[in-house]
Structure 1
Amino acid sequence: MAHINLGLDEENFPGITGLLTFRQETAAPLNALAEALLHAPHPTLSPGERELIAAYVSGLNECVFCATSHSAFAAAQLDGGMTLVSQVRADLDSAPVSPKLRGLLRIAGAVQESGRKVTASLVEAARADGATDLEIHDAVLIAAAFCMFNRYVDGLGTRLPVDPIAYEEAAGRVKTIGYVRTG
């Protein structure tokens, strides 16, 4: 049970879904932020790559709901699937990702520790591997936003889904329709 009374059946509204249902006024802008960062068209980073950044940061933050959710969302949109996601989360240095994506993930990992951990040398290394200023910006913003989302979910003690298949089902929805809910 969450730390507060959400006024709903938490088994059917695990993790952030219960919190967003509880507080509609904040749900819309939070969903819009997730949509802009992870699902909306991007000139160079795929939705799967952006979801991988979210999953990586959520794993570093030990937020089980978000790490598992966004790992499933990334896996559904990356050619390497869950194998690739697991490799990145287990050992970024040996994971089979492009040098550019590895650099962006390193920057995201630094943000997870503290924004001040993002150094000029990390940024220059990512640039040397092909990252653009837009990609660096977005990696930092995704990481910062997921530190907030992770703390929101864990800070209110939300439930995990009873059935792990729920993550895969949600991945299909996110891949198809994204984060903005209508109706």
Structure 2
Amino acid sequence: MPHIALDSDEPGIRGLFQFSPETAAPMNALAEVLLRGDSTLSRGERELIAAYVSGLNECRFCTASHAAFAAAQLPEGMALVDQVRADPDAAPVSPKLRALLAIAAAVQRSGRDVTDKLVAAARAEGATDRELHHTVLIAAAFCMFNRYVDGLGTYAPDDPAGYDLAAQRILAHGYTTVPPAPGQQG
């Protein structure tokens, strides 16, 4: 049960966004830029970073949501997401993405844990300044999102089908566009 009266049956951050549309708009805009905007990292890779950090933070709703969003945009699907979440060092991802995941994990612990050594390792694998920037900001933003969701005691559904539906909505409409009402073209 949420710590505040949300007047919504929506789970996780969706219920909080309905409660506070004035804060939802800039948070959704940030998610749109970070996860769907121009980048040399694919949308699936960026969602994977979000899911990974959310898992490290033990945020059930954000982990399940962004795992589904990543899986829907990665050719290897949920199998890869699960492998990365379980052991990013053994997961079949590029050395560059592995190095960026290490940076994301460092940000999750503390921004000060991002060392010159981690940055140099990512650069050695071809990471650009923009990719480093995106990785750190995605990780930092998801620490905030995760704490927002869990700090207000929102619930996370157990049924993965709901997260898969949300993934299709995000793929079709993004984070800032209101999807059409049921029965309308979208």
Q: TM-score range by the shorter chain?
A: over 0.9
> Alignment partner for residue 147 of structure 1, among 139, 143, 147?
143
Give the distance between the partners of 1:166 and 1:91, measured in 2 at CA.
26
Conserved in 1, the CA contact under 8 Å of 2:12 and 2:154? Answer: yes
Between the two proteins, what is the percent identity of the paired residues? 68
Equivalent residues, number? 179
- Do residues 55 (structure 1) and 47 (structure 2) align? no
Unpaired runs of 5+ residues, structure 1, are none
Match of 1:22 in 2: 19
1:172 and 2:178 matched: no
**Which AA in structure 1 matches 2:4?**
I
Could you tell me which residue of structure 2 aligns to residue 156 of structure 1?
152
Instruction: Tell me the distance in 1 between the aligned counterparts of 2:177 and 2:158.
Output: 23
Residue 14 of structure 1 aligns with an amino acid whose one-letter code is P
Root mean square deviation, CA, Å: 1.1
What is the TM-score when the length of structure 1 is the normalising length? Answer: 0.95
* Per-residue deviation, 1:153: 0.2
- Measured after TM superposition, the shift of residue 162 of structure 1 is 5.5
Matched, 1:108 2:94: no
Give 1:111-126 correspondences, 5 Å limit: 111-126=107-122
Equivalent residue, structure 2, for 1:86: 82
Once the two structures are TM-superposed, the CA of residue 173 in structure 1 deviates from its matched residue by 1.1
**What secondary structure is seen at the aligned counterpart in 2 of 1:67?**
helix
In the alignment, which of 63, 73, 92 is matched to residue 69 of structure 2? 73
Cα offset, 1:161, TM superposition:
2.3
Question: Hey, what does 1:4 align to over in structure 2?
Answer: 4
Q: TM-score, normalised by structure 2?
A: 0.94
Q: Which runs of 4+ in 1 moved over 6 A?
A: none
Cα distance in structure 1, aligned partners of 2:108 and 2:85: 14
Task: State the SS of the aligned residue for 1:92.
Answer: coil
Q: Aligned to 2:89, what secondary structure does the other structure show?
A: helix
Gapped regions of structure 2 (runs ≥ 5): 180-186
CA distance in 2, matches of 1:139, 1:108: 6
